[in-house]
Structure 1
Amino acid sequence: MEGFATCKSEIKFGTDGWRGIISDSLTFENVRVVAQAIADYLQGINQGDKVFVIGYDTRFLSRQYAEECARVVAANKIKVFLTDKVAPTPVVSYGVKHLQASGAIMVTASHNPAEYNGIKFKAPYGGSALPEIITEIEKNLYCKPVKIMNFFEALNLGIVQYFNADEPYLNQVRRFINFDLIKNANLKVVIDPMYGAGAGYVRTLLENTSVSVTEIRGEKNPGFGDISPEPIAKNLDLLKKIVLEEQADIGLATDGDGDRLGAIDNHGSFVNSHQIYALFLRYLVEQRKWSGGAVKTFSTSKMIDCLVKKYDIPVYETPIGFKYICALFLKKDILVGGEESGGIGFKNHIPERDGILSSLLLLELMAAHRKNLREILDDLMNEIGPFYYERVDLHISNERKKLVLDLLRNNTPDKIAGIDVIKVETMDGVKCHLATGGWILFRSSGTEPVVRIYVEGSSPAEVQSVLKSGISFVEGK
């Protein structure tokens, strides 16, 4: 069966895939259009004879959207391996590599609020689609009639086949992580998958160790408890509470599709992604003796610059979006790549963010140092100096977003919060470097009507002062 979409709603891939509000721009019709564009892309590069993977998260209608994608891809004579249950993005991505598939569709809106859903496309290497791939897929939108077949007919014919993606992925994690270090560390851990697809994975991998595990928010809840499933400080009050009540050593939170990590230390303090990235970089170089460069995005801390200088290893800065980090993993010898949002990828794994693997590596790091996370972080700060960081998301209209960013590009202020602006960069948004060594970045979200303000400084007072000034500018006060 074939048919053209009747309404050409705007479909635009953002930082990592296409996302939209359910029943607004995110409709079954548009899902079919995107699936057809992906199928056409695969056929166009002569990959239609390979199998294709489809997975989905815990969001409202994710399974149904995944089945709809399977109907379209199968109708284009491409065999589909559909996950037999909810699966995190890194598990689906590893499934691509394991099956030597042509790629994958992951139905998810990642960390976005509950009213969103979306589609990520994963390439044959098991990571984010590069910008040039996304460009080709977007060119295919609405170009050909959407082909579709009955889902149960596709199952009966074997064109769509269920598969369990867990075991290959779990085995890979067991190879990567030093469980011999973890198993006798007697750690007490609270896991918070934030009602997302990562539920159960860290707990399963810690079986047969001495680690005591409590998992919260592990049940399926498409409303995500009225918060966005993003592991940042403001969304982790419950995890902080349970860590303190349980007198746990650490709390570990993953986002809606399990590819990002946030942490709470044993004092109930949030440990941000920059700190975690810096700890991983130091551990992999000093303890594991691994080599390779580091990749950071435009909004990532200067802590990474301090460490790469110490280790005399190359550092690469990219626009925001793991697809840019992924591109460098494919081209160069990269040890670790990370971004402000909590997504970190590693050498000797797939070129993909992985919150589950990151959670376990953080436990390995603690076990190796025989210290709690706060003590390890304090050691690092004593070594490279204090860094404080904060991000604020301001919900404003798309028209106001454009006005603010255009104004900043064309008329950058000489001072912010009374501090001289000494350098301006516009790789991805507008970044003002300050005379104190700190910086502020204004950037428009690629998936929501939001302007994000990122600030780093050498003291909490400096960060708050600069942030307040940045907010006033965006709000026109």
Structure 2
Amino acid sequence: MKAIKFGTDGWRGEISRDFTFENVELVAQAIADYFTRSPLPAPRSPQVIVGYDTRFLSREFAQTVSRVLVANDIKVILSNQYCPTPTLSRAIVTKKARAGIMITASHNPYYFNGIKIKGDFGGSVESDVTEEIENLLGKNRPKILSWEECKESKNLEVANFLPDYKKSIKSYIDFRLLRSSKKKWKVLVDSMFGTGNGIIEDLLKETNIKVTTIHSEQNPLFPRINPEPIPKNLKEAARLLKNGDYDLAVITDGDADRIGALRPDGKFITPSLILSLTLLHFLKYRRWRGGVVKTISSSSLIDKITQRYNLKLWETPIGFKHICALMRKEDILIGGEESGGIGYKNYLFERDGILSALLLTEVLCAEKRGILGIIKDIEKEFGRFRYDRIDIHYPEEKKKGLMANLKKNPPSRLIGKRVVEIKKYDGVKLICSDGSWLLLRLSGTEPILRIYAEAGSEKEAERLLGEGKKIAYRT
């Protein structure tokens, strides 16, 4: 069994190997101990919101967390059904709770589960909090009630968080625009057997957007796919688009805090392009201004747009908690990561795949034309950016050696181009003289090496990925 370690977005482990009821009790007790010794942020109430996703035993793990917290005399409001992570975040803010705990492994394979910890602001807590919780693991033996005792306690409330969440979405999206659109848009929605199922469809039912859904049933095995909206998991959606008459496909991951999208021809719209489309929509149609945050793995297209509109740009390590921290301190218009997590001004300090999907439909209605034409105009104005990523299994024992060697002896050229800049603060990013780049970074939650590349053409991006694999296998 591995040591319990929090990564970029919580703790995750294999069910029955690492993620066990015993370990969940240990983590819940450490969280309870952290709450007990930490001052309550004003004007927050001492209650904690607990939610869970559609994975195997997620409800039971959420009940276990609740049983431990209630035994420690902490008030718990537990979701009465599986729910998206942003729904939990909205409940934290609406109910002025001190924190939230979400049982989810997000986009990981079906045999994983995990715990995300949200602060009183609704977003992921920073590393200093999870480090302190890690230090408290095992300090005290878990206090725990039976589920029957817990249900009878005055410290447990069971509630439905979805109505307030949908209300917040309705106040953010321009549904009047969606209803008045002269064109009848056709959108395919894929919720990847996750918590987003039925929500987008319900919100769009009274608009001029016709929705077709796939993978909307609950299935903890996520058959044939991982619940991560990347091209290899979207083959069925891509096939339907190629053979059907759709304007767009939108996809939410397992806990619905990330988005993916496909063009009418079935080709993938990268999250960086989704962010760019939404950013330009905010600037042109909502007349909003503010800074922009992207992660080290995001497209240089975002840099070009911020330069053109004279917007301040921040670049952070991977992990939405870094974006969230900036959104809380600065006037941020939009912030997002390459994996599809995007946060917005005048909303939660949290990413939201459902809101992101609905904003794309708002873009279509505002532009009054198809997504292909909009993308073509963006390329004409800002240039072509072709982005790709591969994940390869990488042994734990080789991880340290790879990064140490790459930082010490980085290549001076990639695919015949001179490397002019090297960033080492989150993995190693090699930037070439023409702006193309290669990033190698180890996953914080899985034994995986992620290799990212961007260039002016698909062929060059593929060649850069090939260089990345060579570097990895040489170690």
Is the TM-score greater than 0.5?
Answer: yes
1:253 is aligned to 251
Residue of structure 2 aligned with 1:19, choices 12, 16, 19: 12
Give ranges in structure 1 of 5+ residues lacking alignment: 1-7
- Aligned ranges 1:24-35 → 2 under 5 Å: 24-35=17-28
- Aligned ranges 1:103-252 → 2 under 5 Å: 103-185=99-181, 186-252=184-250
2:424 is aligned to 426
Q: CA deviation at 1:49?
A: 5.9
Q: Deviation per CA, 1:399-434, whole angstroms, max 9, x where unpaired?
A: 122221111011111112222111111010000011
Q: CA deviation at 1:244?
A: 3.0
Any idea what SS the aligned residue of 2:282 has?
Answer: helix
State whether structure 2 residue 464 is matched by structure 1 residue 471: no
Q: Distance in 1 between matches of 2:310 and 2:434?
A: 25
2:39 is aligned to 46
Q: CA deviation at 1:360?
A: 0.2
Q: CA deviation at 1:9?
A: 4.8
Q: CA deviation at 1:268?
A: 1.4
State whether structure 2 residue 86 is matched by structure 1 residue 93: no
Q: How many residues align?
A: 470
Q: Distance in 2 between matches of 1:35 and 1:138?
A: 11
2:453 is aligned to 455
- Aligned ranges 1:369-388 → 2 under 5 Å: 369-388=367-386
Q: CA deviation at 1:112?
A: 0.7
> When the two structures are superposed, what TM-score results if normalisation uses the length of structure 2?
0.97
Q: Distance in 1 between matches of 2:279 and 2:237?
A: 26
Any idea what SS the aligned residue of 2:187 has?
Answer: strand
Any idea what SS the aligned residue of 1:453 has?
Answer: strand
CA contact 1:188–1:248 (8 Å) conserved in 2: yes
Residue of structure 2 aligned with 1:348, choices 326, 338, 346: 346
Any idea what SS the aligned residue of 1:59 has?
Answer: coil
Q: Distance in 1 between matches of 2:33 and 2:345?
A: 32
> When the two structures are superposed, what TM-score results if normalisation uses the length of structure 1?
0.97
Q: Deviation per CA, 1:356-412, whole angstroms, max 9, x where unpaired?
A: 000000000110001111111111111100000000101020112222111101111
Partner letter of residue 351 of structure 2?
R
Partner letter of residue 327 of structure 2?
F
Q: CA deviation at 1:350?
A: 0.6
Q: Distance in 2 between matches of 1:379 and 1:182?
A: 22
Q: CA deviation at 1:43?
A: 1.4
State whether structure 2 residue 311 is matched by structure 1 residue 318: no
Q: Distance in 1 between matches of 2:63 and 2:214?
A: 29
Q: Distance in 2 between matches of 1:319 and 1:396?
A: 21
Q: CA deviation at 1:334?
A: 0.6
**Identity %, equivalent residues:** 43
Q: Distance in 1 between matches of 2:419 and 2:62?
A: 48
CA contact 1:49–1:78 (8 Å) conserved in 2: no
Any idea what SS the aligned residue of 2:390 has?
Answer: strand
State whether structure 2 residue 297 is matched by structure 1 residue 299: yes
Any idea what SS the aligned residue of 2:265 has?
Answer: coil
1:272 is aligned to 270
Any idea what SS the aligned residue of 1:146 has?
Answer: coil
Q: Distance in 2 between matches of 1:331 and 1:304?
A: 21
CA contact 2:45–2:96 (8 Å) conserved in 1: no
Q: Deviation per CA, 1:107-152, whole angstroms, max 9, x where unpaired?
A: 0000111111000000000111112222222221111121111222
Any idea what SS the aligned residue of 1:225 has?
Answer: coil
CA contact 1:130–1:326 (8 Å) conserved in 2: no
Any idea what SS the aligned residue of 1:379 has?
Answer: helix
Q: Deviation per CA, 1:196-241, whole angstroms, max 9, x where unpaired?
A: 1111110111121121111100101111113211001111011112
Any idea what SS the aligned residue of 2:286 has?
Answer: coil
State whether structure 2 residue 75 is matched by structure 1 residue 79: yes
Q: Distance in 1 between matches of 2:347 and 2:205?
A: 22
Q: Distance in 2 between matches of 1:154 and 1:460?
A: 56
1:64 is aligned to 60
Q: Deviation per CA, 1:319-355, whole angstroms, max 9, x where unpaired?
A: 1000000000111111100000000000111110100
Partner letter of residue 112 of structure 1?
N
Any idea what SS the aligned residue of 1:60 has?
Answer: coil
Any idea what SS the aligned residue of 1:316 has?
Answer: strand
Any idea what SS the aligned residue of 1:35 has?
Answer: helix
CA contact 1:401–1:450 (8 Å) conserved in 2: no
CA contact 2:100–2:119 (8 Å) conserved in 1: yes
Q: 412-421 or 258-267: which moved more?
A: 412-421
Q: Deviation per CA, 1:77-104, whole angstroms, max 9, x where unpaired?
A: 1111100001010001111001100111
Any idea what SS the aligned residue of 2:255 has?
Answer: coil
Residue of structure 1 aligned with 2:285, choices 284, 287, 296: 287
State whether structure 2 residue 51 is matched by structure 1 residue 55: yes
Give the CA RMSD over aligned residues.
Answer: 1.3
Any idea what SS the aligned residue of 2:348 has?
Answer: coil
Q: Distance in 1 between matches of 2:402 and 2:229?
A: 27
Any idea what SS the aligned residue of 1:441 has?
Answer: strand
Q: CA deviation at 1:245?
A: 3.2
Q: CA deviation at 1:157?
A: 2.2
State whether structure 2 residue 431 is matched by structure 1 residue 438: no
Residue of structure 1 aligned with 2:392, choices 372, 388, 394: 394
1:3 is aligned to none
